[in-house]
């Protein structure tokens, strides 16, 4: 997996970069550890997978066009030369170069025998293809079910002919500083690597997102361990290894894992909804300093101070919260400081009515509040579920082809005879197998697998059916504008 420095310049000199699970401690815990973890490792090893991805990235032209004075006699010559060179290269991008295909490695683990796999979002972000490589040497293509950028988690699904070995989540809230843990992953491509360490700290905020609550460990995690499991000594997953602090990718023994309490809730929603539906109450909060605590007669600094309400219709406003209230408990959970409240509220099911305990003018009061869904997530969900007449979609993309139903405008644009029926190709991905087969914009797909198609949905349905039947290619009957037809077998991968 390529180095990702999401927290560049987060520390003062010497400059330290918080890299996404890319480093390992140079030394193990000095105290005596467990006599052996072999039995636990044997039980869980086959559930840990190596995640490999590939993607196309744009390449830059190695030889730039020379800068010539305006009016130079060579100006037209070089302009024409590079223009022709770009056309010969296929016109791929502004630089006239074919994109490069790059690969990366990470880790993951199976949580369900039917094939659900958990990993980090940054492991599979922007990937064109994702594969899960198992301990027995098998390799399965993975489908992305859903992702959550705020916690850097992703859920994948593979299809296996037999039930897979799976692991279960443990209770990260029960882990104490000093408890032994075990990490298994794919550091530097060395799959099935096991390391042992301890929980070094809890509730770490590394400024990676609004819900930071990391477990810190000195168990060796290196480049490629991203997305791998952190186990307790019973073989339950209590964290997902995600980030490290390192001066320059070296090893200093400070790694971070998303606790299972967070992972379990996020993955459950991704599995059910393919998205995360977080709770929201509509308050602006701030830290309770010692001075504020004294002025509000709190005794000691605790809770989250309500600085204001988002609007008069927010759940907080409806419940009667006011600026100056200090929230000390939400749904039975203590709010120790301002960082606790967003996490607790986000993990609360949307629509649930809960008790919220506040300190108001030195006295404790309990209010009822109904949790709503975060507004930005509501907007995203609405955009996804927009009806065709609300948000017209002119074309669909299948097999690297952008296609559309034939309309009068398209028939005129591509000069299609009235007798030509099917689905018109409006554009072709230059890097697709369809482009290699010579398919072009303006051609019409008449049949797929010897069955007629008249709409993009028909094309997608036929392609899906062929994939389900394990076909390697789709046989397309292609027509030009004059009605002349020919077959083209386009690979499905």
Known binding residues for substrate: 122, 152, 224-226
Q: Find tokens 């390192």 and name the residue.
A: 246
Helix, strand, coil share (%) of the chain residues, nearest 5: 20, 35, 45
Check 104, 107, 148, 152 and give the catalytic one: 152
Is residue 52 among the annotated active site residues? no
- Shortest CA distance to 455 belongs to which of 492, 415, 404? 404
Element at 185 (helix H, strand E): strand 180-185
**End-to-end CA, the chain:** 23
Read off the tokens for 379: 């907007």
Residues at the binding site are 122, 152, 224-226
What is the distance of C-alpha 96 from the center of its chain? 31
CB 406 within 8 A of CB 423: yes
CA distance 257 to 202: 10
Q: Which residues contact 341 (CB under 8 A, 6 or more apart)?
A: 285, 304, 327, 330, 335
Is residue 385 among the annotated active site residues? no
CB 145 within 8 A of CB 132: no
Is residue 152 among the annotated active site residues? yes
Check 104, 107, 226, 479 and give the catalytic one: 226
Q: Which residues contact 423 (CB under 8 A, 6 or more apart)?
A: 403, 404, 405, 406, 444, 445, 453, 454, 455, 456, 458, 459
Task: Please write down the long-range contacts of 137-145, taking CB distance under 8 Å and 24 or more positions apart.
Answer: 140/115, 142/51, 142/117, 145/116, 145/270, 145/271, 145/274
Check 107, 122, 172, 208 and give the catalytic one: 122
Backbone angles phi, psi at 103, to 5 degrees: -125, 160
Cα dihedral sign for 20, 25, 31, 36?
A: positive
Catalytic residues: 122, 152, 226
């Amino acid at each position: 997996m390529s180095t990702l420095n999401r927290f560049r310049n987060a520390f003062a000199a010497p400059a330290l970069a918080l890299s996404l699970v890319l480093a390992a401690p140079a030394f193990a815990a000095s105290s005596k550890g467990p006599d052996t973890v072999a039995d636990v490792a044997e039980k869980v090893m086959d559930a840990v997978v190596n995640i490999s991805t590939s993607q196309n990235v744009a390449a830059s032209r190695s030889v730039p066009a020379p800068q010539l004075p305006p009016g130079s006699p060579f100006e037209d010559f070089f302009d024409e030369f590079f223009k022709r060179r770009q056309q010969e290269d296929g016109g791929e991008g502004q630089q006239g170069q074919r994109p490069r295909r790059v690969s990366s490695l990470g880790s993951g683990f199976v949580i369900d025998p039917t094939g659900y796999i958990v990993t980090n979002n940054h492991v599979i972000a922007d990937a064109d293809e994702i594969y899960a490589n198992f301990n027995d040497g098998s390799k399965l293509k993975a489908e992305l079910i859903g992702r959550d950028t705020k916690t850097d988690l992703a859920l994948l699904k593979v299809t296996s002919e037999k039930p897979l070995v799976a692991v279960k989540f443990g209770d990260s809230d029960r882990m104490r500083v000093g408890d032994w843990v075990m990490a298994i992953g794919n550091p530097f491509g060395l799959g099935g690597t096991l390391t042992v360490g301890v929980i070094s700290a809890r509730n770490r905020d590394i400024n990676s997102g609004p819900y930071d609550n990391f477990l810190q460990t000195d168990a060796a995690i290196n480049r490629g361990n991203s997305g791998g499991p952190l186990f307790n000594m019973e073989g339950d997953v209590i964290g997902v290894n995600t980030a490290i602090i390192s001066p320059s990718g070296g090893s200093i023994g400070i790694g971070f894992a998303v606790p299972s309490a967070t992972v379990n809730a996020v993955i459950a929603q991704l599995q059910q909804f393919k998205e995360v539906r977080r709770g929201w109450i509509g308050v602006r909060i701030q830290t309770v300093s010692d001075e504020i605590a004294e002025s509000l007669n709190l005794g000691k600094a605790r809770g989250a101070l309500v600085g204001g309400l988002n609007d008069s219709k927010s759940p907080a406003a409806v419940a009667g919260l006011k600026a100056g209230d200090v929230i000390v408990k939400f749904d039975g959970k203590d709010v120790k400081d301002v960082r606790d409240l967003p996490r607790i509220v986000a993990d609360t099911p949307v629509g649930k009515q809960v008790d919220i305990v506040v300190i108001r003018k030195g006295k404790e009061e309990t209010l009822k509040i109904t949790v709503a869904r975060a507004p930005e997530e509501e907007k995203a969900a609405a955009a996804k579920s927009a009806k065709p007449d609300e948000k017209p979609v002119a074309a669909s993309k299948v097999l690297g082809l952008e296609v559309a139903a034939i309309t009068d405008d398209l028939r005129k644009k591509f000069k299609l005879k009235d007798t030509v029926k099917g689905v018109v190709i409006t554009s072709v991905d230059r890097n697709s197998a369809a482009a290699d087969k010579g398919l072009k914009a303006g051609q019409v797909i008449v049949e797929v697998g010897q069955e007629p198609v008249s709409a993009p949905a028909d094309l997608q349905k036929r392609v899906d059916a062929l994939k389900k039947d394990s076909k390697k290619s789709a046989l397309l009957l292609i027509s030009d504008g004059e009605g002349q037809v020919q077959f083209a077998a386009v690979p499905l991968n």
